[in-house]
Each structure stands twice: as C-alpha cells, then as structure tokens.
Amino acid sequence: MNIYKPELVKIVDIVLETPDIKTFKLKFKDDSLGKNFSFRARQFAEYSVFGEGECTFCIASSPTRQEFLECSFKIAGKVTNALKKLNVGDTIGLRGPYGNYFPLEEMKGKNIVFIAGGIGLAPVRCIIWNVLDLRDQFKDITIIYGARTVADLVYKNELDEWKSMSSVKTILTVDPGGENPDWKGEIGFVPAVVEKAAPNSENTMAIICGPPVMIKYTFPVMMKLGFNEEDIITTLENRMKCGLGKCGRCNIGNVYVCKDGPVFTYKQLKEMPDEF
Ligand code: FES
C-alpha cells in the first residue's frame, strides 16, 4: 500500500472568506470512502493539486457533520495559488486524517472558552460545531475571536449565527485601526480582549489557536485568570509536509508536530524548546 496515495475529492462549493482566504467544501468521489471517512476535531489532511504538490491544513468542518469536508486556506505559496485557481466541480487529492485531536471527552461537563485569531479560527470552528452539536453535554461556552481588520474575519455568517445563540457568549474584536464605521464589536488585540472578558477559569478548559504572537501573549493572561496549564489547549502547524512522521520537517526537539501533535497543552509546550 502506498501511504502517500491520495483519495480523490470533488470541490462542491467555494467561499471567498477574505481577500486571501478561501474555504472549499469537498465530497469524496467514491461515496463509500466518504461514508467510512472518520476523523476527530483538529486532525489535519494533506491536500494535493495534481502537478503542483501538496499542502497541509486542518479539516475545518465538524466530525458531527458527515456529508462533506471543509478546509480553509490562506493563499501564500505555489500549491495554495494553484488551489485558488480551481473551480466548483474540479478534483483534488486528499490523504489523512493525521495527527492527534482536541480532548472532546475530557471537555464534557465543563465550561469551554474558545479563543482564536485570523485563520486560526479554522480548527477552532471544527471543535466549536462539534461542541454545539452536542450542546447539552457542556456548560458555559464562550467564543473570543479577532482578526486584523473587519475584512479579515473568516466565517462571517457563522460569527453572526454564534452571536445570535443565547447559549453561547461570542465576543468579536479587530485590531486598533481595523474597524469600519459599522463595526459593533471590540477594538483591541485578542489577549487584551480576553483579559477584559475575564472568563471564569473554574471547571473550564480553553482552546486557543491563532498567530504565534497572539498565542504567546494570551498564555500569561490565562494564567492570571487562574487557568491550569493542563486545561489550556493549543495547536501548532510546523512546516508539515508528509504528515506521517517520515520527512523530519516538523520536529521541535524530539517532538514531531505531525504525529505527537498538532494539539498540545500549554504545560507540554512549556517543556519544549521555545516556538514562540
Ligand atoms: S511532517 Fe513529515 S515528519 Fe512531520
């Protein structure tokens, strides 16, 4: 068996999230593969454009929604530029799922705080919908999401949906200067907005994903709010290529992000060489 062989998936919908981020909705060409494909929130896949190469993104849709898979990508290099040019009906390759996942079982019965910045909302969105689809198994849910500007916020329809839900507290923010005249959310960097919102740390787990600088400055805020290091969960995306622990591109010290991660607790990160 060739472990690098991708399966074929068809693009069934494309959303232009921001000027440089797109979301693809994908369906397996072989229905039986689609039905048997199972993954957990925050696992990732390798997506290939034939003749161009592969790139790594998380699966951005929830495992509770089986009809299709979604991935969101920032247009930043050769493969993502090739992906950008594809249309509905085109076929790409997909292999996976790979990596570990968010500890959903451990999160049950607890308050959950989701904190994300920019396209870092993609893996968090996956676990948000996973949790919302099992809403009665969790206590209070808070979502804090920020982007550089209003135009850079991703999944805008879903942000409105979360805001309209009485069972979820959703706080949106943009960096100073990134607001427009219609903006009704917060203005400020994510760590400052988290500090101001001051979510209760008692019986609470936090999921954090975003640019390294955002994560770096959010950790001390979480400690100040009284969170345990083991209850702060984040994800890394280190130059992954093979996704299988073979190419040696993703390692930090002895840790392979693709196999041992990409999900790590803050406690685990502190024991690794500094990534931020
Ligand atoms: S991506 Fe190849 S070893 Fe991790």
User: Which string of DSSP letters, residue by residue, matches 52-84?
Assistant: TEEEEEE--S-TT-TT-EEEEEE--SHHHHHHH
Q: Flag whether pLDDT at 240 surpasses 90.
A: no
Using a 6 Å cutoff on CB, does residue 242 contact ligand 1?
yes
pLDDT 10s digits, 203-212: 999 999 999 9
Measure 38 CA to ligand 1 centroid, in angstroms.
Answer: 21
* pLDDT confidence of residue 266: 95
Using a 6 Å cutoff on CB, does residue 247 contact ligand 1?
yes
Using a 6 Å cutoff on CB, does residue 187 contact ligand 1?
no
Q: Give the single-character DSSP code of 229.
A: G
pLDDT interval class at 276 (50, 70, 90): low
Q: What is the H or E stretch that residue 9 is in?
A: strand 7-18
What's the helix, strand, coil split of the chain in %, to 5? 30, 30, 40
Using a 6 Å cutoff on CB, does residue 78 contact ligand 1?
no
Query: For residue 92, which of 105, 108, 73 has the smallest C-alpha distance?
Result: 73
Using a 6 Å cutoff on CB, does residue 4 contact ligand 1?
no
At which residue do the structure tokens 């969105």 appear?
A: 125
Q: Flag whether pLDDT at 265 surpasses 80.
A: yes
Measure 259 CA to ligand 1 centroid, in angstroms.
Answer: 8
* pLDDT confidence of residue 70: 97
Measure 239 CA to ligand 1 centroid, in angstroms.
Answer: 8
Average pLDDT over residues 170-198: 98
Q: What is the C-alpha to C-alpha distance for residues 58 and 78, in angstroms, rounded to an integer?
A: 18
* Atom of ligand 1 lying closest to residue 245 CA: 3
pLDDT 10s digits, 64-118: 998 899 999 999 989 999 999 999 999 999 999 999 999 999 999 999 999 999 9
Check residues 274 and 190 and name the one with the higher pLDDT.
190
Using a 6 Å cutoff on CB, does residue 248 contact ligand 1?
yes
* pLDDT confidence of residue 242: 87
Check residues 250 and 201 and name the one with the higher pLDDT.
201
* pLDDT confidence of residue 62: 96
The chain-wide mean pLDDT, for the chain, equals: 94
* pLDDT confidence of residue 275: 64
Neighbours of 223 (CB within 10 A): 14
* pLDDT confidence of residue 252: 87
pLDDT interval class at 237 (50, 70, 90): confident
pLDDT interval class at 4 (50, 70, 90): confident
Using a 6 Å cutoff on CB, does residue 239 contact ligand 1?
no
pLDDT interval class at 123 (50, 70, 90): very high
Would residue 253 be called left, alpha or beta, if left means φ above 0 and alpha means ψ between -120 and 50 degrees? left
Measure 176 CA to ligand 1 centroid, in angstroms.
Answer: 37
Measure 150 CA to ligand 1 centroid, in angstroms.
Answer: 35
Percentage of the chain modeled with pLDDT above 70:
99
Average pLDDT over residues 222-236: 97
Lowest average pLDDT, out of 3-7, 45-49, 196-200, goes to 3-7
Percentage of the chain modeled with pLDDT above 90:
85
Average pLDDT over residues 116-143: 97
